[in-house]
A and B are shown apart, each in its own frame.
Chain A
């Protein structure tokens, strides 16, 4: 077991430093690049926070849909192949729900401010 602080805490400390101490000092294209850099660190923090739980749930759903076991990457590949072959489609029980949940979990990490995501999140509540 690795020592603490955790990767989440460490990454967040860098993002806070860049946002609070460096951002006010620079302007123009460098300021734009810095905003991108801070966005990346915040994305990484969200992923570190959520990935374990969402991947485990995704694997659980994929096992149910496909009837096989494997890593989350293997099972995604298998599902993609079955959809491509037409063996699984939106009429397959659970597929739409699975794709929605998986996509919502991705947006929660990638772009929680994306308008489509916020609209759909409102539906879940």
Chain B
């Protein structure tokens, strides 16, 4: 049982800890798990989160940075003042828990629909688009020489990769073809600067409290690339959860996002942001197709996965709204 291993582990690296309590699995697939628990301590319980790949699931998928890199990035972000949980411990073989890390548990909400609708967040909501701009500016300024080894991707490489992913699905979609053509025709070329890119910065991967952004989560798709990619992805309509007139996660306008980014001393290139928004919309659409394929070929024959395949059409209408808008 994971409780026994966790208890042994915390006693080794957390001075004074006597064990763990309230261990519960939160989410994740077979290869990556998230657990919440409290470290039992004479000064009172310490809220913690374990992110791990169980033994036998060491190999990361090609796009993922890996949990060790994720831990390093979160720690760097924490030290640079990006809202981020403090990393408490990186798993070692003696922990007998697989690979991964333990971090401080940050209280708050990640469920996008609640953040967009509950009264608790009413005061925070109008501030979030601008605040997110500031957070991204800090994140893009993390020192390159301290970053773990990460894959590096240009726009051109990303287009080819999505093209290949899409064709491997054998799922002919005229709207996706149109988007791929548009992306090739509008490829902005190499970015003048390559920075850390979070890769999945969006409503749903942020812990939000009444005071705003408390933590940036899910760094597994971090890579080096065009910083405008993160600004485009956060605007993808799929992450607005119905608030379609507020492009930044359903919270606010692009202008507010850009103002927050520039107030923190970095420059925005709006045409690159638009390029990455189109790319991001297509990316989610192709991912929906991937879910359908995994549903068909197993082992995950769940209804949820099947239904995500039927969400590709959402990205088709959003691509048409971006590329072939009808008169208003």
Contact = CB atoms under 8 A, between A and B. Distances in A.
Interface of A: 33, 36-37, 39-40, 43, 76-77, 79-81, 83-84, 86, 89-90, 96, 99-100, 102-104, 106-107, 110-111, 114-117, 119-120, 123
Contact of A90 (B306, B310, B324, B326): B324
Contacts of A83: 174, 177-178, 181
Contacts of B323: 90
Contact of B244 (A79, A84, A111, A115): A115
A79 B174 contact: yes
A115 B307 contact: no
Interface string B224-252: 00000000000001001011100000000
B313 A116 contact: no
A103 B175 contact: yes
> What secondary structure prevails in chain B residues at the interface with A?
helix
Contacts of B318: 116
B310 A43 contact: yes
Nearest to A76: B172
Contact of A111 (B303, B310, B324): B310
A119 B313 contact: no
A81 B172 CA distance: 8
B178 A90 contact: yes
Given A84-B181, A107-B313, A119-B244, A40 B324 contact: no
A40 B176 CA distance: 24
A111 B34 CA distance: 30
Nearest to A80: B172
> What secondary structure prevails in chain A residues at the interface with B?
helix
Interface in B278-327: 303-304, 306-307, 310-311, 313-314, 316-318, 320-321, 323-324, 326
A83 B173 CA distance: 10
Given A83-B181, A103-B320, A76 B174 contact: yes
A36 to B, nearest CB: 5
Contact of B307 (A36, A104, A107): A36
Contact of A77 (B172, B313, B316): B172
A110 B39 CA distance: 45
B180 interface: yes
12 contacts: A80-B173, A83-B177, A90-B323, A90-B324, A99-B324, A103-B317, A115-B243, A115-B244, A116-B314, A117-B314, A117-B317, A123-B328
Contact of B303 (A33, A84, A100): A33
A39 B311 CA distance: 13
Contacts of B313: 103, 106-107, 110-111
A99 B178 contact: yes
Contacts of B173: 76, 80
B314 A107 contact: yes
A80 B172 CA distance: 6
Contacts of A104: 317
B303 A37 contact: yes
A114 B324 contact: no
Nearest to B309: A110
Contacts of A33: 303-304
